[in-house]
Structure 1
């Protein structure tokens, strides 16, 4: 396999021109591959978290929009509201639990069971479970939903006072404490939490707290993968600056691969290896770092 350094430029609306310069060293190749590997790892970790965020927004928007409509005097079908809220809650419970479980397994696979990274992530999960009712509750509620079906139990229409002491109509879907306890016997410590709650209670306060917990878990995840990620970004960025300066080319670097010397001399490329340069700016933004130009 022969590999060469090349640069790609857009030459038109859809066309791209590639200029091949020289054979690339194994060291340069490894720098590029390690960079792609770490950026790819970051993207796989973050995909699930983005899905959690989107599902949370969908659920919150459904509850808020129906309540806004109800307050403005529009007719809201309680049965349809019940169905859609439960559908979105089930989606959110599923993807948030998948995020937690998948991230935990991925860290064990990437860094090793009982590694410092694995222990740190495990401690973050234990901390949330031990100190947040919302986290414990929704963590177990996902299991409940698998065995017992829809978690919401009651549609409530009532008047509530705002900060100006005005009474406003409100429609919401409440959890039925006794139904949750009677239908499922594996709540563990959450059973005592539920017994301390009123017979019906709202999702609003607790779903926000749970999402905050998930966000903080993701922050720990970012910190765990950040050290190696930024080392590879730094190594690649230095090499990238060197080759651009060396060849006076402001295009995007890539590697052209050839099966043998004959194919290389004819310019018959068997594969193009592109670098995930476009992701650096997004990564810097997520970590709150100002990317250099």
Structure 2
């Protein structure tokens, strides 16, 4: 796939022009490709290519880059889940470190544990809520892109439902979000135990977020007969929450990857298109590629409006796509 304007040549070149007002009205909507280079002084060097982009060129351009805006909502939603997961992991590690320091400094550990308990509740609640939001938002985005009842949407939902049916961690944490949102805290107690492997060894702390299974059912929350039966059958009378979270995150990563891979052909096409465009325009390092809109008022003045070509957004998507692939392969 090519942008269709391999013979573009520089038209107006202006150095040191002040930042442009993108909302200035123009008398025409002709468009030319080009770029600008921001300067530390707040000005910019500008290149506007001479050939006017045809309607066919512009239609192809917007069709190719549409993959970026189809996938961005999915990736951004998953990024929120990922950040909440990392913050939860970090908060656990920070608590272990602070407990170690409390022994060395004779600090009062009870107030520390109470404060960390609240923080861990916050981080788990954030993670569960963002996970549910990601699943709902991704389904909505796929429905918008492929339409209700499409093979793509159906395949993604079937995968999600199978994971829910086959894996207690996914099932329980998905349902726990509703319990946490509408009824009570996400775990029953924060248990901290320290032990030494030998008399002269340092104290090692274990941190456990425990759930009392029967306590889930006597607090007034309606789990539903099917969910209640599954929890009673698959959960121990007392079980730990934290080990379930990495498993849940792995399944969410896989579902995000599956959603993105539905557009893998379009991603490859966009990469090829931008490669040709970059070479055609001879875009230097640090420059921002744009489409200039309207005519220049003089040879020394560039068009007053521009549309940024989303090459940076595309690079971000590719980086996140590659990261998802590595995460899912590593987890296996």
TM bucket normalised to smaller: 0.7 to 0.9
Deviation, structure 1 residue 49: 0.7
Distance 1:68 1:140 in 2: 32
Matched residue, 2:150: 115
Deviation at 1:217, TM superposition (A): 1.0
Whether the 8 Å contact between 1:138 and 1:210 is mirrored in structure 2 is: yes
**Conserved in 2, the CA contact under 8 Å of 1:35 and 1:236?**
no
Native 8 Å contact 2:213 2:236 kept in 1: yes
Structure richer in helix, relative to its length? 1
Where in structure 2 are there 5+ consecutive unaligned residues?
A: 1-28, 324-332
Instruction: Give, in whole Å, the separation in 1 of the partners of 2:196 and 2:254.
Output: 33
- What is the aligned partner in structure 1 of residue 49 from structure 2? 21
**2:245 corresponding residue in structure 1:** 207
Aligned residues: 280
| CA drift at 1:176 | 2.0
Query: Do the aligned partners of residues 65 and 192 (structure 1) sit closer, same or farther apart at CA in structure 2, a change above 3 Å counting?
Result: farther
Could you say which residue in structure 1 is the equivalent of 2:280?
242
8 Å Cα contact 2:72-2:317 kept in structure 1: no
| 1:186 corresponds to | 223
Equivalent of 1:79 in 83, 90, 114: 114
3-state SS, counterpart of residue 156 of structure 1: strand
- What is the CA–CA distance in structure 1 between the aligned matches of 2:265 and 2:110, rounded to whole Å? 50
Alignment of 1:1-293 (within 5 A): 1-12=29-40, 14-22=42-50, 23-70=52-99, 73=103, 75-77=109-111, 78-158=113-193, 168-183=204-219, 184-196=221-233, 197-244=235-282, 250=284, 252-258=288-294, 267=301, 269-288=303-322
TM-score, normalised by the number of residues in structure 1: 0.83
TM-score by length of 2: 0.74
| Alpha-carbon contact 1:35-1:233 (below 8 Å) kept | no
Partners of 1:284 and 1:76 lie apart in 2 by 46
- Stretches of structure 1 lacking an aligned partner (at least 5 in a row): none
Shift of 1:134: 0.5
Aligned CA-pair RMSD: 2.8
1:288 alignment partner, SS class: helix
Q: Tell me, what secondary structure is at the counterpart of 1:158?
A: strand
